[in-house]
Amino acid sequence: MRLWGGRFEGGPADALTRLSVSVQFDWRLAPYDLMASRAHARVLHRAGLLTDDELGRMIGALDDLEEACKAGRFRPTVADEDVHTALERGLLERLGTLGGKLRAGRSRNDQVATDFRLYLRDHVRTIVSRLVDLQTALMSQAERHVDTVAPGMTHLQHAQPVSLGHQLLVHVHSISRDIERFKDWDRRAAVCPLGSGALAGSSLPLDPRAVAAELGFDAASPNSMDAVSDRDFAAEFLFAAALTGVHLSRLGEEIVLWASQEFRWIEMDDAYSTGSSIMPQKKNPDVAELARGKSGRLVGNLMSLLTTLKGLALTYNRDLQEDKEPVFDSVDTLLLVLPAVAGLVSTMRVNVSKVEASAPDGFALATDLAELLVRKGVPFREAHEAVGHLVVWCQVNDKDFEDLTDEELIKVSPHFTPDSREVLSVPGAIAARKAYGGTAPDRVREQLVSLRVAVDGYAEWASGN
């Protein structure tokens, strides 16, 4: 059943066979190979290479083979080199010699490139749908906590108070960029290689544009050599998947911190946490940790394919067999991780009193005090210096801003008049940051409105509309 061998006097060595076989992982391309085969059969018919009767029998056999694959009645065997070999065997079992006519005008080189694009374009929409679920979970939490005040941090040190809803929406924005990358990727991936043959096209009167249209591509490949050798679409997908993994890892890291005894900002639902085999009290953030850990796998898959592609001469080389496993693994990893992270986020409970109590810690209102002096005409350099001295004075005297008397304020700097206290309020500090993109609750609610529109659009795209 090998698709080659006419010029060989003997069969391949067992070691070569074991090295060469790929059906154990490329079998998942079977539905897409059958889809492309139906389109190819119709093109052969229009070219006069299949009669009406032959086309009808061919389509019927391909449909029956697809049903058999879905039901598990037809499976690849150890003798099948790849998905294409297995499916041709199934077609020959149903049609006899007529099944061999389908191979005319195409090669495994353009076949696998087409199947691979079809597979990825289909699964990217599923990935985007799962990303939308995570965005929805984050927005629901953000809506509940627009007015919850939390410590905003830089360098993991308290910096300025922020709305917790504002912080949660950071992750929605990063995921939106991921989705936009996948959508933009799809535009470039919507080019059909089928009809390019092994590398030079075909002398048969085929119509690659008709095949492309039938399979949902925007265009046929304008260069047959590029069509069979290009794996930019796979590498670019892996980059988008890797960056999505990085964003999931950053969200996971925050959840790990928030769930720790040092923070105690959140309580994870039992359904999305685990315990310890030795310490009965433990409640571990395994979902967040696995999201963080699997980002390394996603980044590694990108590096694997880029290394494979580096320095390949045109056109097709068997090295390209190594393109599928990292891509399949990244698809599987995202579809495994995303529902778990969405579930974790949607069910976690925020300890509002704990979060808000820590918001002013670390002299987090220092910037607001400096900006008050600026509004009074003090140059920011001087204001920054004065507030810095005030922080040092408070540390030496074991006091917070709110504990200072009028005399103590003026003692540190004449700029600190009694009205300085008007900005030493966490809710006031939050509300004052009302410029576009700021953390004021009204601005956060505006973000939510615009994000809902965007996320609804992503959901519609993922559904194929």
- Per-residue pLDDT, 107: 96
User: Which one of 104, 121, 149 terminates a domain?
Assistant: 104
Catalytic residue among 260, 276, 389, 463: 276
- Per-residue pLDDT, 465: 74
DSSP class of residue 277?
S
Take residue 229 and report the two structure tokens written for it: 């050798």
CATH of the domain at 132: 1.20.200.10
Measure the CA–CA gap between 337 and 134, rounded to whole angstroms: 11
CATH of the domain at 397: 1.10.40.30
Q: Do 182 and 50 share a structural domain?
A: no
User: Which one of 341, 358, 375 terminates a domain?
Assistant: 358
Instruction: Give the closest residue to 92 by CA, choosing from 77, 82, 78, 102.
Output: 102
Beta carbons within 10 angstroms of residue 22's beta carbon: 21
Q: Do 88 and 71 share a structural domain?
A: yes
Residues 6+ apart with CB under 8 A from 238: 298, 301, 302, 305, 326, 327, 330
Q: Do 205 and 59 share a structural domain?
A: no
Q: Do 296 and 159 share a structural domain?
A: yes
CATH of the domain at 74: 1.10.275.10
273 counts as catalytic? no
Q: Do 229 and 201 share a structural domain?
A: yes
Query: What one-letter code names the amino acid at 370?
Result: A
- Per-residue pLDDT, 9: 65
Q: With beta carbons less than 8 A apart as the criterion, state whether 195 and 105 touch.
A: yes
Q: Do 73 and 53 share a structural domain?
A: yes
446 domain residue, yes or no: no
What is the end-to-end Cα distance of the chain in Å, rounded? 41
Q: Do 294 and 215 share a structural domain?
A: yes
Strands 191-192 and 349-350: unpaired
User: Which one of 358, 374, 399 terminates a domain?
Assistant: 358
Catalytic residue among 155, 277, 353, 450: 155
145 counts as catalytic? no
pLDDT (tens, 9 = 90+) of the chain, 465 residues, equals: 556 555 666 677 888 778 889 999 999 999 999 999 999 999 999 999 999 999 999 999 999 999 999 999 999 998 899 999 999 999 999 999 999 999 999 999 999 999 999 999 999 999 999 999 999 999 999 999 999 999 999 999 999 999 999 999 999 999 999 999 999 999 999 999 999 999 999 999 999 999 999 999 999 999 999 999 999 999 999 999 999 999 999 999 999 999 999 999 999 999 999 998 899 999 999 999 999 999 999 999 999 999 999 999 999 999 999 999 999 999 999 999 999 999 999 999 999 999 999 999 999 999 999 999 999 999 999 999 999 999 999 999 999 988 888 898 888 888 888 888 878 889 989 999 999 999 999 999 999 999 999 999 999 999 987
Range of the domain at 278: 109-358
Total number of domains constituting the chain: 3
- Per-residue pLDDT, 7: 64
Measure the CA–CA gap between 431 and 347, rounded to whole angstroms: 28
Strand partners, 120: none
